[in-house]
Structure 1
Amino acid sequence: MWCARFFKTRSLAAKFVATGKARVNGTRVAKAAFLVKAGDMITFPLGDRIRVVEVTGFVEKRGSATIAATLYADHSPPPSPKEGKASAAHNPRPDAAPDSRDRARLRRLKSQG
């Protein structure tokens, strides 16, 4: 999940799997060391959506986002029209650090008192 860039760090991915929210082929997984193979379906919540991805490949080390996109086939249900608008505007991943837009909003809120 880390190599495929669903999570920013390996430790965040491991902590997420340890919560028991991830499923491989419908079976709940609680250990990050769970062995997956090509063709396995991984289901997990990410943000406000449920992600369903099929493992299609592996790499020796984490690469670019372009390479990461070749590691899985996304079978997630499309977002509802309401979610689609929110996602298009700004919907950071739950494990992401604040970006410049978020930091600017925080500064404005703090300055307002």
Structure 2
Amino acid sequence: MAPDMDKMRLDKWLWAARFYKTRSLASQEIGKGRVLVNDQTAKPAREITVGDRVSVRKEDPSIQVQVRAVSAVRGPAPVARLLYEETPESIAARERAVEMRRLAPEPAQDIAAGRPTKRDRRLIDQMRGK
């Protein structure tokens, strides 16, 4: 009896769609609650079908995709990209996050001259009364 090719384990699909490098890594991330299917937490063995909405939180914001196809084999990236379609809301949220990061001030700008020199450290200690 051949398995249904319109259904597939979630961890296998995430691996085949190249969201994670290994199936075990995909399983770990699902177990940590970083992957949602139709806005619900899932288990690695959860069966997904075409049309399901999968949310993968690898970075902020999470990526929301619609399942377009299932594949038991992990192919090259351009082929894996055909297994899903990112939702317009997800694309807009990621673009906003990129823009916010671009406009955010550089954290290192607060440190004018880098870390204190030995001389600076002595002056600081002298002012603190050490």
What stretches of structure 1 move > 4 A for 4+ residues in a row? none
Cα distance between partner residues in 2 of 1:25 and 1:60: 21
Question: Which amino acid is the alignment partner of residue 39 of structure 2?
Answer: G
Amino acid at match of 1:63: G
Residue 45 of structure 1 is matched in structure 2 by: 57
TM-score, normalization by structure 1: 0.68
What percentage of residue pairs aligned between the two structures are identical?
A: 33
Between Structure 1 and Structure 2, the one with more helix by share is: 2
Root-mean-square deviation (Å) = 1.7
2:100 maps to: 82
Where does the alignment leave 5 or more consecutive residues of structure 1 unmatched?
86-113
Q: Does the 8 Å contact 2:34/2:58 carry over to 1? A: no
Distance 1:50 1:82 in 2: 15
CA distance in 1, matches of 2:32, 2:72: 26
Aligned to 2:48: 36
CA contact (8 A) 1:49 1:79 kept: no
- 1:3 corresponds to which of 3, 11, 16: 16
Unaligned segments of structure 2, at least 5 residues: 1-13, 103-130
Q: 2:56 & 2:75 partners in 1: Cα distance? A: 22
State the Cα distance separating 1:28 from its structure 2 match.
Answer: 1.2
Q: Please say which structure displays the higher CA radius of gyration.
A: 2
